[in-house]
Structure 1
Amino acid sequence: MNRRQFVSVTAAALVPGPMSSQHVDPALIDYFEQQLEGHYRADMYLGPHDLIGTVSAQYQLIDKLIRSAKGEVRRGLLRAGAAYAALVGWLYQDAGDLGAAAFWRGVTQEIAVRSRDAHLIGYSLVNQAHVRTDLSDGYGVIDLCEAALDLSDGLLPKIRVMALQQQAHGASLTGDRAAVDQLIDTAGSLLPRVDDDLPWGNACRRTPAYLEVQRATCYGRLGLGREADALWAQVLDVVPTTARRDRGVYLARHATSAATAQEPDHAVEIAREAVAIAIETRSARMMRELRTLERAMRPWHDAPVGRDLTEILAPVGKGS
């Protein structure tokens, strides 16, 4: 990352102070929390590029208000700020900039610690583990998730579910299928107890078949093509077409699982829809999944089905 890119990434988080003091109305906490839910929905429909500027600018405003706020208003704004920083980190991660994502995950943890909220601190650790997953650092993922789970016996079920499913991704990176199933099954037993009204970290409630998505992803990473293929077929039956970015990622993973299961024609059929969504959303995560599909299809590179895939992938620059 060059200096100009670094400044662009950090501009909203590293604003020098102090700033001029101002009155901070407690109602602003609800305002930012309500806006957050709208940003989560927009992310599902739009992908990262159109939202990074908007969400980081709102984080900058929250940071400005924190510097004037006192008492519980300050604590409430710190909690909101941590959630916004986490979303900025996720948007950079989905855009494929892991350096920027790691920076904003660090900002999330700093603000969470300042809020003294154990649930948010756990959430920030899981967010950092998510970046480690994208870096294929299985043991790093496990370390961070275990640290989150060790924070408090009273940790919200939602945070435990998030940590357990992310730890399953770490286990899949280390080749431990038994741990994958045990961790996801434990998370499943906790899922009915998720009943908090916090505005952040609600993917486990908002995403259809949330834990089966994680299991299918882990199975695909473990090379269990037939098991993953069957799970993705079930998941995609319940994912709405409006959740474009998520659906595209799942389709690409499904196609890879089909290829691993020695069903190349099925893989190419699934890839057609995934590529259409990739062009629309420009999600780097989806592009990465399509590269994985291309590698899985190498045994058929010179066959007609392989040439079909090359043609399908050409508009997103992944053809060979």
Structure 2
Amino acid sequence: MAVETIGHLLKRLRDERGWTQQQAADEYCRVSGTITKDAREVGRWERSTRIPTPETRRHLAVVFGVSAGILDRAAAAAREARHEEPAEGGAPAHEEAIEVDRRRFVGALAAASLSTAMAASRHVDPALIPYFQQQLEGHYRVDMMLGSRALMGTVTAQCDLIGQLVDAADGPTRQRMAHVGVSYAAFAAWLHLDAGEPTTALRWHDAAQELAHRSRDREAVACALVDRAMARTDQTMGRAVVDLCEGALIDAPRLSPEVQVFALQQQAHGASLLGDRRQVDELLDKAGRLVDAVDVEMWGTACLRTPHYVEVQRATCYGRLGLAREADRVWQEIIPSAPPTARRDVGVWAGRQAVAAAALREPERAVELARRAAGIVMETGSERARRELASVETAMAPWQAEPVGQDLAEVLAPIGKGV
């Protein structure tokens, strides 16, 4: 059966949704964080006069809810029809060169225009604020599907731009732009944490805290404190985690349910680092009672986007406390019901469950769970999942010389020595 070419495929997907070419372009911009696509570009893709680059295809996969592999095969079919040889990386060399040159030009033009505008005037259009908010929603989706490294460059560039806009804006617009900047800086910190770059993440946490105070928003300040606590959790600084979360919750009755849940679950992680199971359960039970009151995420906390959000934290805390049987029981309830959009997170969870399986002296099951996690690491590059696999390697040390230990070594080999 012939493979559909990229142009035919994109047109069919757009028609199925009842979108115009401009609507498809707008959705692409929202997902990718660019502002340079229009209906004419979509038309070129659909006529196959321009084949989307690999990066563009990854964004289009999110736009249309299909796998990037389907679009890659369709692009290859279009090149074959045009008798073109693909360049390394999947797109014709001349198209890659054009795309790189275009991005450099657009980036330089944008930077020059922004610098000129700011020098000439302190007016910042408030319409930019909902634009950045919409972009961020798309970024959250891409992060869950493709992992942090696919977004780091885009998000950090937008953070820098927002910072300039905050400095240039007047009055209420400055505060509202700072409010948006808090979410962007916190997300940039999260991306760097997931990529295994804690020092850079802390710098973005510093930026988020400054912007939070500049926004004069109580919830922004609370979220910035909890985001900082997340970084301290990775550094196993339990006391700091608890102190930061307690500081965020000083005005708990005046905070939204979302922010309260965010702080309570992170405080539970601090309690688990201090070995206090009773406190872990009390904090998470309280968070669980508040989750149903969250009807929309305003701060990117993922308490709605992550299935079984509170129970994921409970299983993680139980694992940290050495309660392998309890952790394994919760993971068995969570992982099978995870949606495809949570694939990167499933890699982390499967690694944690593998540690619990090893602690329960079930090495074969631990290896199968590690195999699943390793496959996801290869796809997403998540350093968080990679760290969990390092813990599996340690937990499986008693079986290192046995066949099951060799099986684990084969599973971990493709992602690096010593994980």
Same fold (TM over 0.5): yes
> What's the counterpart of residue 294 of structure 1?
393
> What's the counterpart of residue 346 of structure 2?
247
Q: CA deviation at 1:22?
A: 4.7
CA distance in 2, matches of 1:152, 1:235: 29
Query: Does the Cα contact within 8 Å between 2:261 and 2:287 map onto a contact in 1?
Result: yes
Counterpart of 2:409 (choices 278, 290, 310) is 310
Counterpart of 1:58 (choices 158, 181, 185) is 158
CA distance in 1, matches of 2:297, 2:177: 16
CA distance in 1, matches of 2:400, 2:306: 35
Q: CA deviation at 1:239?
A: 1.1
Q: CA 1:102 to 1:319, structure 2 compared with 1: closer, same or farther past 3 Å?
A: closer
* Runs of 4 or more above 2 Å deviation: 18-23, 195-198, 241-244
CA distance in 2, matches of 1:40, 1:21: 33
1:181 and 2:281 equivalent? yes
Deviations 1:137-163 (A, max 9, x none): 111100100000014530111111111
> What's the counterpart of residue 187 of structure 2?
87
Q: CA 1:319 to 1:308, structure 2 compared with 1: closer, same or farther past 3 Å?
A: farther
CA distance in 2, matches of 1:86, 1:241: 25
| Overall identity of the aligned pairs, in % | 54
Query: Does the Cα contact within 8 Å between 2:355 and 2:392 map onto a contact in 1?
Result: yes
Query: Does the Cα contact within 8 Å between 2:144 and 2:344 map onto a contact in 1?
Result: yes
Kindly provide the amino acid, as one letter, of the partner of residue 235 in structure 1.
I
Deviations 1:247-273 (A, max 9, x none): 111111111111111111111111111
Counterpart of 1:170 (choices 253, 260, 270) is 270
Counterpart of 2:243 (choices 119, 143, 146) is 143
> What's the counterpart of residue 115 of structure 1?
215
RMSD over aligned Cα, in angstroms? 1.9
Kindly provide the amino acid, as one letter, of the partner of residue 144 in structure 2.
M
1:161 and 2:261 equivalent? yes
CA distance in 2, matches of 1:46, 1:21: 39
Deviations 1:115-172 (A, max 9, x none): 0100010000000000000001111100100000014530111111111100111111
> What's the counterpart of residue 314 of structure 2?
215
Query: Does the Cα contact within 8 Å between 2:122 and 2:170 map onto a contact in 1?
Result: no
CA distance in 2, matches of 1:153, 1:242: 33
19-28 or 176-185, which moves further after superposition? 19-28
Q: CA deviation at 1:26?
A: 1.6
CA distance in 1, matches of 2:400, 2:373: 19
Q: CA deviation at 1:319?
A: 4.9
> What's the counterpart of residue 267 of structure 1?
366
Q: CA deviation at 1:204?
A: 0.5
Counterpart of 2:141 (choices 34, 41, 59) is 41
> What's the counterpart of residue 330 of structure 2?
231
CA distance in 2, matches of 1:57, 1:105: 16
Deviations 1:16-37 (A, max 9, x none): 9x94435322211110100000
Q: CA deviation at 1:197?
A: 5.8
Query: Which blocks of at least 5 consecutive residues in structure 2 are unaligned?
Result: 1-110
User: TM-score, with normalisation over the residues of structure 2?
Assistant: 0.70
60-69 or 82-91, which moves further after superposition? 60-69
Q: Which has the larger radius of gyration?
A: 2
User: TM-score, with normalisation over the residues of structure 1?
Assistant: 0.91
Query: Which blocks of at least 5 consecutive residues in structure 1 are unaligned?
Result: 1-11
SS at match of 1:311: helix
Query: Does the Cα contact within 8 Å between 2:202 and 2:228 map onto a contact in 1?
Result: yes
CA distance in 2, matches of 1:21, 1:98: 37
Count of aligned positions: 305
Kindly provide the amino acid, as one letter, of the partner of residue 89 in structure 1.
A
